[in-house]
Amino acid sequence: FNTEQFGQHILKNPQVAQSIVEKANLKPTDIVLEVGPGTGNLTIKILEQAKHVTAVEMDPRMAAELTKRVQGKPEQRKLDIIIGDFVKADLPYFDVCISNTPYQISSPLIFRLLSHRPLPRVCILMFQREFALRLVAKSGSTLWSRLSANVQLYAKVDYLMHVGKNNFRPPPKVESSVVRVAPRDPPPPVRFEEFDGLGRILFSRRNKTIHGNFMAKGVIPMLEKNWRTYCSETNQMVEDDVDMKAKVEKILEETGNTENRAAKMDVDDLLKLLYAFHEVGIHFA
Ligand code: SAM
């Protein structure tokens, strides 16, 4: 294990740790998941307020240090430590997730939390500044991206605070930010792969027109292939010489999106376009 590979930058400023935990508005009945507790600077504060904490830590030496820290104290009974990789670990039920994890697992972390069932009430997460800013970006802004759309499809994301590098030991190379991710419950009734599949096309050049992106190499043949699969799965007859390009152009025209750009479309605009394609059997996954 080494500092860089596992992103072991310990949060040494107790005020910052305290305010991160306070942002979760924990109730005494809450069951909390913490990812990458390290030596437990956040864990100790979470244990003061929650009913139970499960902490997933990959480095056994860190886990041992955390175990030692609660040993013989009343908090010991409230803490379970899973030693292993969060990405592969079986997760227990939790109401809230609080985490300051290495930034290499930012994407898997957020998507795993959003696909967990039942959905957590809220997640308070520390990320590299640039990643956090993309999570909260609004359509029309320069940072609005496929990541922003995919996360905002499932959650309301708010920027909470800036945490400078000197609050960590050793200080990382990058600046950090804390965000609140509140999952939409129930989640919108759309398959992630479909929404993301449309996003892949539209955001491949976010400032290009939607029409232009659909005409990029390989897109129309891919949609035709998906369409044939969909038709055969739903027992529909298909013509041999279908004009997929014309079908796509008709939808873009009817929904007023031909000259639109992903850079300006919000989650609702994207969903409306996706549903219009689905109505005629065109799928993105
Ligand atoms: N949360 C502590 C704090 O704020 O002081 C430690 C933060 S440190 C940035 C990240 C921690 O996550 C380290 O203890 C590291 O060993 C652990 N870690 C790294 N990759 C992990 C993974 N895939 N699953 C679980 N823990 C991981």
Cβ count within 10 A of residue 166: 9
At 25, the amino acid letter reads N
Residue 40 Cα to ligand 1 midpoint, Å, equals: 10
Is 119 in contact with 91 (CB distance < 8 Å)? no
How do beta strands 52-57 and 168-169 pair? unpaired
3-state DSSP percent of the chain in helix, strand and coil, to 5: 45, 20, 40
Residues at CB less than 6 angstroms from ligand 1: 6-11, 35-38, 41-42, 56-59, 62, 85-87, 100-102, 105
* Statement: residue 184 has pLDDT above 70: yes
Whole-prediction pTM: 0.94
Is 149 in contact with 188 (CB distance < 8 Å)? no
Residue 58 Cα to ligand 1 midpoint, Å, equals: 7
At 229, the amino acid letter reads T
Instruction: Kindly provide the ipTM of the predicted complex, given to two decimals.
Output: 0.99
Cβ count within 10 A of residue 55: 26
What confidence tier does 93 reach under pLDDT thresholds 50, 70, 90? very high
Buried b (16+ CB within 10 A) or exposed e, 245-267: eebbbebbeebebeebbbbebeb
Per-residue pLDDT tens digits for 116-148: 999 999 999 999 999 999 999 999 999 999 999
